Amino acid sequence: MAAKQMKFQEAMKRLDEIVTLLNNNELELEEAMSLFEEGLKLSAQCEKQLKKFETKMDQLMEVNKEFEDYLLMRVHENDDSRTKDAMAYSLMNGGKRVRPTLLFSVLEGYGIDARVGYPCACAIEMIHTYSLIHDDLPAMDNDDLRRGKPSCHKAYDEATAILAGDGLLTKAFEVALDSECSAEQKVALVKALSWYSGIDGMIYGQTLDLQSENDLNPTLALLQEIDHYKTSKLLTLPLVCGCILANKFDDVEHFRKIGLVLGLEFQMQDDILDVTGSEEVVGKSLSDEDNHKVTAVSLLGLQGARDMVASYDETIRKELGYVSCDVTSLSKVLDTLLKRTY
Ligand code: GRG
């Protein structure tokens, strides 16, 4: 393959091979020279690609900073209150902004500026934050910490945390309606926000999760159903909203499939990391296994779970091939999300 046509990862891999071969000192002079030249070309190519990547990252950072300011501005609108402080505390508390990033990359694929997606991405992040605040409450998961900091009801109090969640959920719809698009698109956005996060979406997932708490032997199907609703629905929402904002309703079905599989894969990776991450540190599996928690990995085995991840990957790639936009940026975001090691 000509050096120019190689992808960055392939070029880096080849460079690594060349360095190893050259270090072995077992080559004829002519072969060593030819490899050296190939290495020089590849390293120039990688440097060029890295520069391009840096520029892209700078642009993304700019969007990120601007979006953070947008979130802060929207959450503090109108009169101050203790509830509003609590809303802002949780909204600006170090979330990874996975869902906004998904929305922005879909828009980029359609050639639309990320700013067009700010109101909708803000609305989704508000709904995501409300779900985390309520999930941490004593009546639910009873977590004192969220993202390593006191959870909302610990930083404020339980009643304020309930109101902060309610405030974020309801504000989300007001903010989404500020999207610059047609009335038909706005109706579709509001319907999607409600559908994916509501009682037939994420809330149903939380309901199933609560119901299954005392089930000591949940089936794989049940675990996947919980993930499907609790995780996948809110990861699908930004992809679907991206299509709606781009007025590409024909792509919705494919993005819906991608989002649903993405959530299952995201959770499966989490379960795998829970085992392998611990293994790396102490040489044996801990956490979920030691807590006797049944997970997809304990039901399928590590290899079975990895095979499942590979088949999810395959489905996502296939569906990405059907959508009408450029999926380069979205593919990178998905790779980063799914290949995480933390
Ligand atoms: C209370 C209605 C209600 C729902 C709660 C979101 C949720 C449902 C529970 C939180 C627990 C959990 C592990 C849910 C699965 C979804 C998920 C992976 C949430 C975390 O998303 P990230 O990683 O969070 O994007 P950050 O902190 O980066 O924003």
- Of the pLDDT bands very low, low, confident and very high (cuts 50, 70, 90), residue 13 is confident
Is the CB of 295 inside a 6 Å radius of any atom of ligand 1?
A: no
Segment among 4-8, 101-105, 261-265 with least mean pLDDT: 4-8
Does the pLDDT of residue 281 top 50, yes or no?
no
Q: How far apart are CA 84 and CA 73, in angstroms?
A: 12
More confident residue, 280 or 171: 171
Q: What does the CA dihedral 7, 104, 152, 228 come to, rounded to 10 degrees?
A: -70
Residue nearest to ligand 1 atom 3, measured at CA: 131
Q: Could you tell me the distance, in angstroms and rounded to a whole number, from the CA of residue 317 to the centre of ligand 1?
A: 25
Q: Could you tell me the distance, in angstroms and rounded to a whole number, from the CA of residue 128 to the centre of ligand 1?
A: 7
Q: Which residues make Cβ contacts (< 8 Å) with residue 333, sequence separation at least 6?
A: 101, 102, 105
Q: How far apart are CA 260 and CA 300, in angstroms?
A: 20
Q: Could you tell me the distance, in angstroms and rounded to a whole number, from the CA of residue 104 to the centre of ligand 1?
A: 20
Q: Could you tell me the distance, in angstroms and rounded to a whole number, from the CA of residue 313 to the centre of ligand 1?
A: 22
Is the CB of 231 inside a 6 Å radius of any atom of ligand 1?
A: yes
Is the CB of 230 inside a 6 Å radius of any atom of ligand 1?
A: yes
Is the CB of 101 inside a 6 Å radius of any atom of ligand 1?
A: no
The confidence score (pLDDT) of residue 328 equals 92
Give the residue-averaged pLDDT of 263-268: 94
Give the residue-averaged pLDDT of 182-192: 98
Is the CB of 206 inside a 6 Å radius of any atom of ligand 1?
A: yes
Q: How far apart are CA 153 and CA 144, in angstroms?
A: 8
Give the residue-averaged pLDDT of 70-87: 97
How many angstroms from the chain centroid is the CA of residue 228?
A: 14
Is the CB of 202 inside a 6 Å radius of any atom of ligand 1?
A: yes
Does the pLDDT of residue 65 top 80, yes or no?
yes
Q: How far apart are CA 280 and CA 278, in angstroms?
A: 5
Is the CB of 318 inside a 6 Å radius of any atom of ligand 1?
A: no
Q: Which residues make Cβ contacts (< 8 Å) with residue 139, sequence separation at least 6?
A: none
Give the residue-averaged pLDDT of 272-301: 67
Does the pLDDT of residue 291 top 80, yes or no?
no
165-170: list long-range contacts, CB under 8 Å, 24+ apart.
165/130, 165/131, 165/133, 165/134, 166/130, 167/83, 167/84, 167/87, 168/75, 168/87, 168/90, 168/91, 168/126, 168/127, 168/129, 168/130, 168/133, 169/126, 169/127, 169/130, 169/197
The helix or strand, by DSSP H or E, that contains position 180, with its residue range, turns out to be none
Is the CB of 268 inside a 6 Å radius of any atom of ligand 1?
A: no
Q: Could you tell me the distance, in angstroms and rounded to a whole number, from the CA of residue 202 to the centre of ligand 1?
A: 10
Q: Could you tell me the distance, in angstroms and rounded to a whole number, from the CA of residue 124 to the centre of ligand 1?
A: 12
The confidence score (pLDDT) of residue 246 equals 98
The confidence score (pLDDT) of residue 7 equals 73
Helix (H, G, I), strand (E, B) or coil at 150: strand
